Amino acid sequence: MDDLATEAAGASVIMATCADERHPAENILEPKDGSFWATTGLYPQEFVIKLGSVSQVNKIRTLTSNVKRFVLEYCEGEVPDKFKPVFEVELADKNARLQTEVHQVNCQARFLKFTIGSGWGDFASVHRVSIF
């Protein structure tokens, strides 16, 4: 099964609520170790991934740090509005170590909106999102 959250598959991060030039939102799709998107301190924080086309999404894998409440919504329209809920989850406190989450989902999506509702610290990071 190919990862839909890659530049090769046509995916891109089209919106993020905060920016750090050292750790930009585009890093979320970067497969190399050591790259990540960093939040800038306040919650909630959001980012939106646009897939290469409307696609069946069955599984989401995230690699994060210091994320406490995580929400996923989807939209299959031509523009990223009218998002529908997929899941909301509270992640365990890993004392700033990496949090790996895998969620089985079932939706047709062109856009996926990820919201970090709260964190275990002042800052959180998203190291990688994979979509299958």
pLDDT computed for residue 41 by the predictor: 79
Cis before 80 (ω within 30): no
Gap between the Cα atoms of 2 and 9, Å rounded = 9
79: tokens are: 């523009």
pLDDT computed for residue 11 by the predictor: 98
94: tokens are: 């890993």
Contact assessment for residue 86 and residue 49, using Cβ atoms and an 8 Å cutoff: no
Q: What is the pTM for the complete model shown? A: 0.95
- What is 109-131 written as a DSSP string? EEEEEEEEEEESSS--EEEEEEE
14-34 pLDDT, tens digit per residue, is 999 999 899 999 999 998 878
94-111 pLDDT, tens digit per residue, is 998 999 999 999 999 999
